[in-house]
Structure 1
Amino acid sequence: MSAKQPPHQRKRRRNVLELLHPGTFVTIENHPSDLPPFQVIECRGGLCRVRQQAWGQHVQWEVEHRRLRSA
C-alpha cells in the first residue's frame, strides 16, 4: 500500500522556460515559414520584447515568453 503524500511533499510539474538572452533569434507559436525570426530585446516578468530587424530600432512587440522558441 502506498500512502498519499502531504501536499508540501508532492513533486510539482513546472513549466521550464528557455533562457532567452538579448540578441537571440526566436520564433513564435505557429510562426509562418515566410516570416524571418524575431530578435529578443529583453525578457522580464514573463514577457519578452522582440522586433524584426527590418522594423527599425524603435518598433517592438511584447510577447509572452512561453510562446517563444529559439530559432
Structure 2
Amino acid sequence: MVPLLRPGTFVTLENQPADLPPFQLIQCRGGRCWVRQQAWGQYVHWEVEHERLRAA
C-alpha cells in the first residue's frame, strides 16, 4: 500500500543521496506526483512515480 502524501509535505526519493535536501510535494494524481526543490523557484518541478516517494 502506498502512503498518503499531502501537498506541501517534504519527501525523499528512494535511493536519494544524503547530501540532496528533501523535495516539496506539489500534488499527486493517477500515481504520478510533482515535486520541487525550494531553491528551484515556483515554476520548476519534476514529475515522479508516487511509489518512489517517502515522507521525509
Q: With the length of structure 2 as denominator, give the TM-score of the two structures.
A: 0.98
Root-mean-square deviation (CA, aligned residues, Å) is 0.4
Q: State percent identity of aligned pairs.
A: 73
Q: With the length of structure 1 as denominator, give the TM-score of the two structures.
A: 0.78
- 1:26 equivalent among 6, 11, 27: 11
Secondary structure class of the residue paired with 2:39: helix
C-alpha displacement of 1:62: 0.2
AA matched with 1:48: C
Work out the CA distance in 2 between the residues paired with 1:18 and 1:69.
8
Larger of the two Rg values belongs to structure: 1
**Aligned residue-pair number:** 56
Q: RCO higher in 1 or 2 (8 Å CA, sep ≥ 6)?
A: 2
| Runs of 5+ consecutive residues of structure 2 not aligned to the other structure | none
Work out the CA distance in 1 between the residues paired with 2:21 and 2:45.
15
Structure with the larger strand share: 2
AA matched with 1:24: T
- 2:41 equivalent among 40, 49, 56: 56
Which digits, 9 at most, give the CA deviation of each residue in 1:32-62, with x for residues without a partner?
A: 0000000000000000000000000000000
Dislocated runs of 4+, deviation >6 Å: none
